[in-house]
Amino acid sequence: MKHLLLIAFFSLMLCAEVFKVYTEQSPPYNFLENGKVKGYSTHLVEELFAKSGHQFFNNSIHLLPWARGYSTVLNETHSMIYSMVRSPEREALFQWVGPIGKMRLGIIAKKSMHLHVPSPSVLSRYKIATIPDTASEKALLDLGVRLEHLERFANRTSQLKKLQENRVDAIAFSVESAFSLLEEMGCDISEYEVVYVLKESDLYFAFNKETNPKIIANLNDTLKTLIK
């Protein structure tokens, strides 16, 4: 028995890695609070790493604008980003651990705008704010909305501020995150509504594609013991 425990211990040590971990401000999944990254997905990745023997580079999680974090993990070995929607276009770009939860993507507008979206064909009539390379932007493009018709912003704050100031008609966003962030900004969330649901998607931890497949397999097995 002691021999088997030693083998298991040394196997874990051989597979242990130090990862640079990135995320964005997207409550309730991941967000900054009192200088510390928190949220459901954050708690889960901390549990997952602790149980698997992996470590965070500099013992920290880096909060970045989505496009920057996404690009970094594409090009930086020993790195991962969360919480990411897994899509056919992204499939070969990353290695995947999950699913870890679900995200509802939608078009959010002020009720005072009286937006009516009976079908996706009318979405192009409106000035919709998006973040580049996000699942919500991709969902709009898949529905036939042309890229030049979108108002693209580098970060969530700019996107939400334009909505608040009536400088765009709507935003494409995670529904739960949008309302959480609007409330943080001091907005009366009763003044906002979901005018169209784009899709509901599973969320994942996405690792650089060069990550050892054995580590990914181990992480997926360990995750199953954490999510019941």
Q: What domains are defined for the chain?
A: 2-102+202-226 (3.40.190.10), 103-201 (3.40.190.10)
- C-alpha 26 chain-centroid distance: 7
pTM, two decimal places: 0.85
178: helix, strand or coil? helix
Are residues 83 and 69 in contact, defined by beta-carbon separation less than 8 angstroms? no
10-69 tens-digit pLDDT: 445 446 899 999 999 999 999 999 999 999 999 999 999 999 999 999 999 999 999 999
**Which residues, other chains included, contact 222 with Cβ-Cβ below 8 Å and sequence gap of 6+?**
48, 51, 52
User: Using the 8-state DSSP alphabet, how is residue 149 labeled?
Assistant: G
**Which residues, other chains included, contact 18 with Cβ-Cβ below 8 Å and sequence gap of 6+?**
54, 55, 56, 57, 78
Rounded percentage of the chain residues whose pLDDT exceeds 90: 90
